[in-house]
Amino acid sequence: MQSFRQNPTAPAFVQDPYPAYEAMRSLGPVLRWEDYDMPVAVGYAATSDILKNRALGREAPPEFAPQIPAHLAPFYAVEAHSMLELEAPRHTRLRGLVLRAFTSRRIAGMGAEIDALCHDLIDRFPAGEFDLLPHYAQKIPVIVIARLLGVPEEMAEDLLAWSNAMVGMYQAGRTRADEDRAVSATEAFVAFMRGYVDTRRAHPGDDLISELIAAEMDGDRLSEDELITTCILLLNAGHEATVHTMGNGVATLIGQHAVDALIADPVNTVEEILRFDPPLHMFTRWVYADVEIAGHRFRRGDQVAALLAAANRDPDRFDAPAMFRPDRAAGQNLSFGAGPHFCVGAPLARLELQIALPILFQRMPGLALAETPRYADVYHFHGLKSLMVRAG
């Protein structure tokens, strides 16, 4: 297996990781990323195999489970019930119960509300140059997921702050200060959710939390801890990635002069935005049983990574992958993952993007970038630091 060196926190890489992904792919579909000391898949077929193959999964085999330092215990106590970190049978059970409440009818029913929310936010845009992220891209996903779960919208700022601090645990080269921030945020989030779930248990409403409390499969329900973790997972996963896809998407649409394509065909254009510049690039898996991927053998206890954003630009799968082409056939990118952990929120994220992006450009036809946008200096989320725009 060939190896490659690339500091994941190097500013030039964080701003534009795609040339490095191309250089990696020229060495083979799977290679060792020295800085992570881990094999990574950069080809489409190998990435897809890693995500779908049942010989691999998110949960560490028990004999390889990392020791958790005492100061991180509150964070991992929540992760211990997260479907994203589990495999069958617990993963199947948790995911099944969530899907029971998170129905396509409930998601589709949000369309009119998302539409109205977008118009309302645009009505309140400041005059002159302003940052579109806090005024639009951050507001929509967090308000939508809060409403869907039945959490008061006034909590949006706290939810954003807790969630930002918690995902800091996934950043390359995290510090003790990042860890302490993540733990404090976890404790505050859990305390809030515990109280809130109790209120909903006593007074059920027409919201996802009440449905999750009631959701039952074969006589089985979510325990209190599972319920709290699931709500935190949905609230966190439910906005971070969508915010960044919306920001990256606006920058791409303006930069690539693709606004007309968006208005003509929002569905395919949103798929191309997801393929071209996704918010989440890297996911890891543990190996459970000896397995061969792209000609390389892996053993129980090995860890491998899937580089979704590199797979999305594999020329064996996409013609001229570095070009932004909204008329590509939809539905092939790996930005929502694949296999058992395929994103539960994909239909909601797609709906939000397909509604919010066209409304923005219809209401502000000459919307222009006021500054060259820069990505935030982190690798765990590929999203913009700010997106300064002005009306045309």
CB of 84 to ligand HEM, least distance (A): 4
- Among 14, 209, 215, 233, the residue binding ligand HEM under the rule CB under 6 A is 233
Count of beta carbons in the 10 Å neighbourhood of residue 368: 12
CA distances to 9, 85, 212, 220 from 215, in Å = 42, 21, 5, 8
- Among 4, 318, 324, 336, the residue binding ligand HEM under the rule CB under 6 A is 336
CB 182 within 8 A of CB 166: yes
Contacts with ligand HEM: how many residues (CB under 6 A)?
A: 26
Q: Does 229 bind ligand HEM (CB under 6 A)?
A: no
CB of 126 to ligand HEM, least distance (A): 26
| Residues in 21-60 that interact with ligand HEM by CB under 6 A | 51, 58
Question: Cα separation of 243 and 249, whole Å?
Answer: 10
Which residues share a beta bridge with 40? 31, 305
- Among 335, 379, 380, 387, the residue binding ligand HEM under the rule CB under 6 A is 335
Q: Does 310 bind ligand HEM (CB under 6 A)?
A: no
Q: Look-up: residue for tokens 């690539």?
A: 256
Instruction: Give the CA count within 13 Å in the CB-facing half-sphere of 190.
Output: 18
> SS3 for 332?
coil
- Chain residue whose CB lies nearest ligand HEM: 345
Site string for ligand HEM, 112-151 (x = CB under 6 A): ---------------------------------x------
Q: Does 83 bind ligand HEM (CB under 6 A)?
A: yes
Contacts of residue 207, defined as CB under 8 A and 6 or more positions apart, other chains included, come to 147, 148, 149, 150, 200
Residue of 43, 21, 19 whose CA lies nearest to 33? 21
- Among 25, 95, 139, 328, the residue binding ligand HEM under the rule CB under 6 A is 95
Q: Does 247 bind ligand HEM (CB under 6 A)?
A: no
Whose Cβ is closer to ligand HEM: residue 51's or residue 227's? 51
Choose one: 7-15, 117-125, 215-223, 241-249; the region binding ligand HEM (CB under 6 A). Answer: 241-249
Q: Does 381 bind ligand HEM (CB under 6 A)?
A: no
- Among 47, 163, 186, 242, the residue binding ligand HEM under the rule CB under 6 A is 242
User: Looking at this protein, which amino acid is placed at residue 217?
Assistant: M
Q: Provide the H-helix boundaries in the chain.
A: 11-15, 18-25, 44-52, 73-79, 90-101, 104-108, 111-123, 132, 139-149, 156-167, 176-202, 208-214, 224-237, 240-255, 259-264, 266-276, 308-311, 346-363
Chain residues in the site for ligand HEM (CB under 6 A): 51, 58, 83-84, 95, 145, 233-234, 237-238, 241-242, 245, 278-280, 283, 335-337, 341, 343-345, 348-349
